[in-house]
Structure formats: C-alpha cells, structure tokens
Structure 1
Amino acid sequence: MLFLLDAQSRSGINAGDLNFVDNASRFFRLCAGTQIRLAPEITVHLGKSLKEHILAAGCPRVGILPLLNALRKLQPNREHVTPLHADFFQVCLLSKVYNAAHEVLLDDIFDVDPHTTCMTPTDLFSYCYYGGMLAAGSKMYSRALELLMQALTAPAVVANAIVLAAYKKLILISLIHSGKSISLPKFTSARVKYLLESRWQGVSRAEYCLPNTRS
C-alpha cells in the first residue's frame, strides 16, 4: 500500500485531492512502524505529499493526526528526529492548534540519523524553526529559545534563510522572555556567527516596539 500511494502521489493528481488525503491518512493510522521503516525515503515522500495536498485543500488541521502517526511510526524511538517533524509542526502552526504538538515538542532529541530517517540539513533547520515558533505560541519560551538556538548552532557552511529567520525570532523571543537579547555561544560556526551578527547588528527593543518588561 505504501508504494501504491507513493506512486499515486507522483502521478500528477490534482493538488488538494481529498481522496488521496483520506487514503494516505488511513494508511498512516493503520500501518506498522516496522513496515514503513524499511522504506524511509518513500515514507517521507508520502508524508510530505500528504501535507502538500492538505495545504492545497486549505485544511491544515486535517493533517495533524496523520502526520503525527507518520512521524511516530517512522521514529525508531523518541530520541530520533524525522523529516516529518517539521511538516507536523507546520500544520499545527497553520491550524493554530499549538497544544497538539506539546508532547512532540517536549521530546529530548539526541539522534539525527540520515540513514534511518532520510533527514537532511534543511529538515533539521525546519524542525528547529517551526518547533521554536510552536513553543513560543504556547508560551514555552525556554523551549522555544532552545530549539531556535539549535538551528543556529547546527553544522552549516553558510547562514541559510531558515537560520536567518531563526536568529531574528530568537532575538524577539529573548526580549519578550527576559527583556534582553541573547548571545550566540562560542561553538557557533564562525561563518554563521559573522553573517548573523553583521546582518542583524543593531536589532534592539525599539526596533521591535517592545515595552520594557523588567522593573
């Protein structure tokens, strides 16, 4: 069934095809994790196709449970991050159903294993960025700062667009949470640190129009 659905997703079906959405959602609900972990690349493509059809149909909330099922079954254990984490976080954000991601946000992630889950650097940056936004939306500011900082300190040759966006959000959330901007740790990539600080130097409370929350 996995391969049939994947073939269907690649066959040029109309964007927002709700029949495909129903079939893929049912598959992720009923399939065994041991089955889909044998074909992680196909599973990830199917999950991302499901998300794109759901977004095209204008109903991101429909994707919350299927993508949660998919990422949980793709994970060898809860210490692994998968490419579908970011897609799950994205539909939660678009639906403004922040509490749906609460349990996943609190998972302690220690393994980024491309061989097992087909993770890419972009998947990791997106996981950190969307996760940080969800945590901030739930007023879990410490967790938000932790995730955004991970996006900034993950190995990278250059500061990509996601990293730049994460840095700006990091400053904003830090100002909201503690009243002061946060500094990058010493182990941040030198090139990334230079590009970030040169791009956003001078960012201040006044620029964000934030009141002074500290007495």
Structure 2
Amino acid sequence: MAPNDPSFDEIISKIQSCSDTTAVTKTLAPFLNNLSEQVFVARSHGQTDPIDALSPALHSFAYLYFLVYRCKASHGFHPSLLEKVWAFVTSCDGEQVRLASDKALSFAEALVKMATESSQPIIAIRPLAVFIKRIQATPGQLTMIHPLLAKTCLLAQSFKDIIPILDNDISDVNPSLTHIDYKDFLLYHYYGGMIYAYLKKFERAVEFFKLAVSAPAEVASAIQIEAYKKYVLTSLLHYGRVLALPKYTANAVHKCIKLHCIQYTEFAAAYEKRPNSVIKSEFERIKPVFQRDKNLGLVKQCMEALHRRNIQELTRTYLTLSIEDITSTIGLGSEPDGARRVEGIINRMIESGAIFATISHEHTGGMVSFLDDPNQHNNTITMDMINERIQKATAITSNLAAMDQTISTMPSYISKVC
C-alpha cells in the first residue's frame, strides 16, 4: 500500500457506510479513485482478505474495484479468485455496477485476458453471460460487454451461453446509462451474425449483419463493409437472393459497398440467375478474394444450397427421377462422384424436412420418388409456433410504443421539432 493510503479498517468502514446511490456517486467513487492500486490487491497484516468483509450484493461498486485490479494482476485463474468472481457476477447490484461502467468493462476484459492466458477462453464465457444479465436494466439493453462476450464465444467456439442473449433483440441503446459507443453496436451485431452463421441459423445471421450495415453513419466503417460481405452470402444461403438493404442505410455505406464489394455483388448477380456454368465460373474467378476475406466456407455452402434449391424445383415438376438424371440436371454430371454427392444431398434434405421423398435402389443407380407434404399444419405444434410469433410481435410493438413515448417527451426532441 502507498504511504498516503488509509488503513484497511478505514477503507472497509468507508465502503460500508456508503449504501445508497447518492453516497456511492458523490462520496465513495472519489474515495476509491484516490486509492492506489496496491490497496485492492494487498492483504492486511493479519493475512485476512479485506474483500471478505464486503458483500458482493450490498457493496457491488467497491467489490468491483477489488476484482478489477486482482484480475489484472493475476496470471491465469486461481480457484479462490474464480470463486469471488462467480459470487460477484451472480449477486451484484446492477444499478451500482452501472455507476462504474468503465470498471465493469475493465473487469470483463481482465477476465477474458486471464482465461486466454490460461488457454481456456471458455472459462470466461459463463461469468460474462451472467454478468450481462445482472447489469442490464432491460433484457433488450445493449451493454459494453456484449461485443466482448460474442468475440470470446467465437474464439472458444462455445455458443450455448450467448444464444439466449443474442435471441433477445436489442431495443435499448442508451450510451448515457451504459457508456456504449457506436463501435460496440457494430461489433456486437457483426460477431452475433458470425455466431448465427456458424450455427447455420442463417435467417438470424442475415438480420444481424443487416443491423450492422444499416446503422447510421456519416463515414462507412470497415466493420460495416465486412458485415455486408457476409450479409450477401448469408442472404444467398437462406433466401437464394440478396435482400435489399433498408432505405435508411447511409449513402456513405452504399458508396463504399460499390467500391469495396464488387466481387460479392457480381457473384450474387450470377447466383440469382442460376445457370450452373456461370456460377461456377464466377466462383473460380473470385475464389482468391473469398479466401482472403475468410469467407470461402460460406461461399461453398452457397454452392451446396444452390444444388438443394435446384432439387426442390424438380419436385414441382416430376414425381419420379433417377439419381443420374438429377445429377445431370443440377450440373454435377461431369464430376466423378456427382451421383454419390447428389444422393447425400437428397438424404439430408429428406432428414431435415426440406423435401418429402423416398430413394429406391431396385433400379441401377437409384430412383427418387417425390411425395406431397404429409403435414396438414392443423396440429398443436403449428398453433404453438403461431402463438409464439404473435407474442413476440406484441412484445416488440409494446417496446416500440414505450420508446416512442420516451423520445417524444425528451426536451432535446421537443426543441428540435418546434
């Protein structure tokens, strides 16, 4: 401890005397900011740990200070420190923590750093996910920790804990409360889109990439350009075409897209026209660009999706076709293992419910019989799905009405309108 620092007893007494928000803001925050870092990592002469005298629920603001500096000073995880981290993230007072949002971000970054140095980034994921839920004022509020959690999940290839967070659409972006910035919004939706794409939830991936691309901008961000490239490919994967961007997308973004995403728009144009020979030619021509951008995996999935769409179109015309005929029709006839690939695609489509068909090998090469959809959509599963969609739409409408009411009563909005 530094010579000018008060004793541990004085520090703990000061912390325990500041329980309400006003005292924390006006008294405790300046007091803690004037202490040296050694205070938060040291133990008293009696070897008792001063942090043990604090409650992570009642003294969350000060407890956070101790954890920040201890996590920064630690090299790798220690069971005793991890125990204190877990006690804090599961019981902390979100309102107190939001008063020290810069320290909350430092704590999250130090947690990830410790986990990464231990070559176990997955260890940081669960605490961060729980921490986000504790400090959010509403489930749809974006915090400065959202993009860090999403990035860590991508590094660890572990997504179970972040999916419930991603599934809650962001409806509350309040920089004055959470100290988030524009880059946080872009990165969260960019990383979130990558996670959904990895999990093959392409509809959600398209939505997340679109939110990043269409965010208000006077100058286009490099994140938006990269998001647009993935937006194109996930749109092709899920819809077979590139959906038009919202009308409110900034002109600066449109200009940068035309300049930096030419190859992607050319590939999409060829893909939507669907002549197999043209698409293959465009793919081979642009392949080095896809490899450079690390999007080759998505492009290959687009090619596979094209074969599935072509097979689906055949079901509308034919009742029975040989695998050899299907292989030739969808453009894989010249490949040595084309028939085997096609049979594998058809089997996967049957298993996923994309088509209804049976494969018979009584004839040489195999015959495929296409069937009608047996689902009449009059069961409880369909009704549950409809009710879920209605409830979600109702919740979104309520949130929008509340946001509209809040904005319309803001003095800055009223003065601008008047």
Instruction: Give the TM-score, by structure 2 length.
Output: 0.47
The residue aligned with 1:41 is 102
Could you tell me which amino acid in structure 2 is paired with residue 169 of structure 1?
K
Corresponding position of 1:110: 171
Contact 1:5–1:24 (8 Å) recurs in 2: yes
Asked if 1:151 is matched to 2:220, the reply is no
Report what 2:182 is aligned to: 121
For the Cα contact (< 8 Å) 2:94–2:135, is it kept in 1? Answer: yes
- Listed one character per residue, the Cα deviations across residues 98-120 of structure 1 (whole Å, up to 9, x for unaligned) are 23222111102111111111111
Q: 2 CA distance for matches of 1:122 and 1:21? A: 31
Q: Does 1:160 align with 2:225?
A: no
Residue in 2 that maps onto 1:6: 68
Structure 2 Cα separation of the partners of residues 76 and 46 of structure 1: 19
| Partner Cα separation in structure 2 for residue 157 and residue 61 of structure 1 | 37
Task: Please show how residues 25-64 of structure 1 align to structure 2 within 5 Å.
Answer: 25-64=86-125
Contact 2:71–2:114 (CA under 8 A) maintained in structure 1: no
Report the equivalent of 1:134: 195
Summarize the Cα distance change of 1:21–1:122 in structure 2 as closer, same or farther, 3 Å threshold. farther
* One-letter amino acid of the counterpart of residue 256, structure 2: L
Task: Confirm or deny: 8 A CA contact 2:93 2:135 kept in the other structure.
Answer: no
The match for 2:77 is: 18
Q: Does 1:76 align with 2:144?
A: no
Match of 1:200 among 261, 271, 276: 261
> Does the 8 A contact of 1:21 with 1:50 survive in 2?
no
**Residue in 1 that maps onto 2:235:** 174
Q: 1:157 to 1:3 in 2, by over 3 A?
A: same
Give identity over the alignment, percent. Answer: 29
Q: Could you tell me how far apart the structure 2 residues matched to 1:119 and 1:146 are?
A: 21
Q: Secondary structure at the match of 1:77?
A: coil
Q: Is the 8 A contact 2:90 2:134 kept in 1?
A: no
The alpha carbon displacement at 1:37 in A equals 2.2
User: Is contact 2:210–2:231 with CA below 8 Å preserved after alignment?
Assistant: yes
What letter corresponds to residue 111 of structure 2 in structure 1? L
TM score, norm. by length of structure 1: 0.88
Q: 5+ unaligned residues in a row in structure 2: which ranges?
A: 1-62, 272-282, 287-298, 311-418
Q: Which has the higher contact order (CA 8 A, sep 6+)?
A: 1
CA distance in 2, matches of 1:200, 1:162: 13
CA distance in 2, matches of 1:117, 1:125: 16
- The separation in 2 between residues aligned to 1:57 and 1:21, in whole angstroms, is 14
Deviation, structure 1 residue 141: 1.3
Residue 167 (structure 1) shift: 1.1
Query: Given that residues 184 and 193 in structure 1 are in contact (C-alpha distance below 8 angstroms), is that contact kept between their aligned partners in structure 2?
Result: no
Q: Tell me, yes or no, if the aligned pair for 2:142 and 2:170 is still in contact at 8 Å.
A: yes
Counterpart Cα distance in 2 of 1:92 and 1:107: 17
Q: Distance in 1 between matches of 2:141 and 2:81?
A: 26
| Contact persistence 2:129–2:161 (CA under 8 A) | no
Deviates more, 1:198-207 or 1:58-67: 198-207
CA contact (8 A) 1:83 1:118 kept: yes
Question: Once the 2 structures are TM-superposed, how far is the Cα of residue 7 of structure 1 from its aligned partner?
Answer: 3.2
C-alpha spacing 1:108/1:202, structure 2 compared with 1 (3 Å): same
Query: SS of the counterpart of 1:148?
Result: helix
Q: CA RMSD in A?
A: 2.1
CA distance in 2, matches of 1:182, 1:21: 48
Structure 1 residue 21 displacement after superposition: 6.3
Aligned residues: 212
Deviation at 1:25, TM superposition (A): 4.0
- Work out whether residues 80 and 112 of structure 1, in 8 Å CA contact, stay in contact via their aligned partners in 2: yes
Counterpart secondary structure, 2:122: helix
Return 65-74 or 134-143, whichever deviates more: 134-143
Q: Distance in 2 between matches of 1:48 and 1:21?
A: 15
* Cα displacement (A) at 1:125: 0.8
**Which has the higher Rg, Structure 1 or Structure 2?**
2
CA distance, structure 2, for counterparts of residue 133 and residue 21 of structure 1? 32
Separation in 1 of the partners of 2:86 and 2:235? 38
Deviations 1:146-198 (A, max 9, x none): 11111011122322222122111111211221222333222111011110222
Return the offset for 1:8: 3.6
Partner of residue 183, structure 1 = 244
